[in-house]
Structure 1
Amino acid sequence: MKKLPKVGSLKGLDKSVMWKALYAILMAIVCVGFYWSTTQTNYIWHWNRLPKYFYYTDTINVKAEIEGEVATITRSRGEAVVIVKGPDGTDHYTIPGEDLRVKEGDTLYMGDVIGVYQEGKIGLLTDGLIITIEVSIVSILLGIMLGLFTGLARISTNPCVKGLAITYIEIIRGTPLLVQIMIWYFVLGTIINNLLAKAGLFQIPELWFGVASLAIFAGAYVAEIVRAGIQSIDRGQMEAARSLGMPKSMAMRKIILPQAFKRILPPLAGQFISLIKDSSLLGVIAIRELTKATREAVTTSLMPYELWFLCGIMYLVITFALSMFVQYLEKRTAEA
């Protein structure tokens, strides 16, 4: 015979269902309220125009760059090679596909269309998303390395090393990120590129100054997270490791840091999520990350509602994926 569930468990189940139903009702009210408020603004939604900001097909016109006559047209492997001979020399043009607008013997002038083909291109938002992800990943990796060394220096017994770490942390944490980005781009970037130009070396793109500002900003916060994580481990473990003959560096690497890593994962995840969102400030130095790309798209399309909502959703997807990855790491480290 099957056992009947206990009355207490039924009551708990009923309460859980009730609260979930209340949550669903509240979310439905929010959605309906938002939809009603948009209807009061006389705004016409154009969701069907959004796909082109991710990927679109562009029509490319191949135009003549010299005056002359079409000498030969060679077709092979789905493309045509057109050779134009003129008084100033010979030029050739490759046109994918079969849409040619000329034939052999035609006379061409500069700007005449020789052929047309279709080419797929990534949209403005996709381009901005890629740059945001690349900048965030590089900044996070550099921030982790910088924060780890600075956090260890923060608890060092060497007064010089400790003083330098404290100075760096306090300066970075005590000034806004936007100001730091401006200093890196307009002050340090100008000085560095001027010195490189005098030495006859290449110029550093503004993207790397943005990455440097984000990495140094994140490194200061990671350093404090690492310091707090290390100091949360009982001192007796370090003393026990030293009593067994372990050098301090080996004890820190094999005993203290693995335990501290489990404790600092949640605050590290929060810091990196904030860093991804802070990357939107790089638009002030002409880096076309996701927010700047959205702003440009809004300017040309006059669709602020759809594009800004889409921008928010794309940031949410990135941060949610990072959050899920950190939760996975937490489970793996807890099982280890």
Structure 2
Amino acid sequence: MRHKKRVKLHWLDYLILAVVIAFIGVIWFRISGSLNYKWQWERIPNYLLRWDEEEQRWFTNLLLQGLINTLRIAIYASILALILGTVLGIARTAQNLAIRLVARTYLEVLRNIPPVVVVFIFFFFLSEQLIAALNMERWARGIARQDDIAIWEFFFGDMRRFPSLISGVIVLALFESAFVGEIIRAGIQSVGRGQREAARSIGMSWSDEMRFIVLPQALRKVLPPLSNQFISLVKDSSIISLISVQELTYKTVELVASTRMIFEAWLTTALLYFILCFGLSLLFRRLEGSGAR
């Protein structure tokens, strides 16, 4: 039977903890005293969940709506980024020089331009054009007018905001796919050259070699960095609030503008992001641990 090793705190740990507490105390005093700020924490729960007297049930309010939308965007964008990133990673290791150059150019450009600039470029030059070409806004409004749209709202939220949601997903996925592509490329190149040569010696084509030999091994090796990238994607989703996507950061801006609860709103938002990202970190750590057994 294994006994868990007790963690002993060093005097330096206590010192760091004391400094952190003192820092928080000073900030709190400065806000309350010098700025003459009136805290209104009692109002925050109402912006997470609100009680409707007419229907006699709870509804999600601004902050919780934003958190749910952030989770939706992160899931859909991560799926699309994984698909695009896998294609880019394979292209980076292709035998054809032109394909390698195109994939590398895409990756290097996105990795060396500030995210905000990338978001605006993709939004105005690609995402908006695609939504207009597919007439997605008219289609979404038609869905929103229907009576039974519970399944649509579960997956996409308010259907009147569907084009905005899709814009955010596309922009975020295109940006994150550059980082996923490099992770996939590293995973592919980590597979031993001898295995690939053995596959060719028995007559396997390049596509079969990638499908049956390389990618299954590469994906197992890249799962930890892909998990970290998903958590980064959740945090990076705050950037798309700049293009009016109704996620958590955007909803917080709305809340601050209407209530002037600057510190309460942003501290609550920071806590929600922390809970979501830390929870995902623990989940991925457990999955990695169970997969290693």
TM-score scaled to structure 2, two decimals? 0.79
For structure 1, the 5+ residue unaligned runs are: 1-12, 61-116
| Structure 2 counterpart of 1:31, from 8, 21, 25 | 21
2: CA distance between counterparts of 1:242 and 1:195? 44
2: CA distance between counterparts of 1:257 and 1:164? 21
Query: Is residue 2:64 matched to residue 1:126?
Result: yes
| Structure 2 counterpart of 1:259, from 217, 223, 244 | 217
Matched with 2:238 is 280
- On the 8 A contact 2:131/2:137 being kept in 1, the answer is no
Structure ranking higher on relative contact order (CA contacts 8 Å, 6+ apart): 2
Q: Aligned letter for 1:30?
A: V
Q: Aligned letter for 1:263?
A: K
* Structure 1 pair 150–187 and aligned structure 2 pair: CA distance change class (3 A): closer
| Structure 2 counterpart of 1:171, from 109, 126, 132 | 109
SS of corresponding position for 1:40 = helix
Deviates more, 1:323-332 or 1:229-238: 323-332
Matched with 1:302 is 260
- On the 8 A contact 1:46/1:303 being kept in 2, the answer is yes
Q: Aligned letter for 1:140?
A: S
Matched with 2:87 is 149
* Structure 1 pair 49–33 and aligned structure 2 pair: CA distance change class (3 A): same
How much does 1:189 deviate?
A: 4.2
Deviates more, 1:218-227 or 1:168-177: 168-177
* Structure 1 pair 200–178 and aligned structure 2 pair: CA distance change class (3 A): closer
For structure 2, the 5+ residue unaligned runs are: 141-161
Q: Aligned letter for 1:186?
A: F
1:6-45 paired onto structure 2 within 5 Å:
17-19=8-10, 22-41=12-31, 42=33, 43-45=37-39
Q: Aligned letter for 2:116?
A: L
1:11-52 deviation per Cα after TM superposition (whole angstroms, max 9, x unaligned): xx99x6242x64245324412431243123323332222110
Count of aligned positions: 264
* Structure 1 pair 26–250 and aligned structure 2 pair: CA distance change class (3 A): same
SS of corresponding position for 1:17 = coil
1:208-252 deviation per Cα after TM superposition (whole angstroms, max 9, x unaligned): 122111111111111111111111222112122333444443333
1: CA distance between counterparts of 2:134 and 2:212? 42
Which structure has the larger Rg over C-alpha atoms?
1
Superposed CA RMSD = 2.8
Q: Aligned letter for 1:266?
A: P
Matched with 2:77 is 139
Deviates more, 1:296-305 or 1:185-194: 185-194
How much does 1:307 deviate?
A: 1.6
* Structure 1 pair 273–230 and aligned structure 2 pair: CA distance change class (3 A): same
TM-score scaled to structure 1, two decimals? 0.70
> Where does structure 1 differ by over 6 angstroms across 4 or more consecutive aligned residues?
none
* Structure 1 pair 193–145 and aligned structure 2 pair: CA distance change class (3 A): closer
Q: Percent identity?
A: 38
Matched with 1:46 is 40
Matched with 1:160 is 98
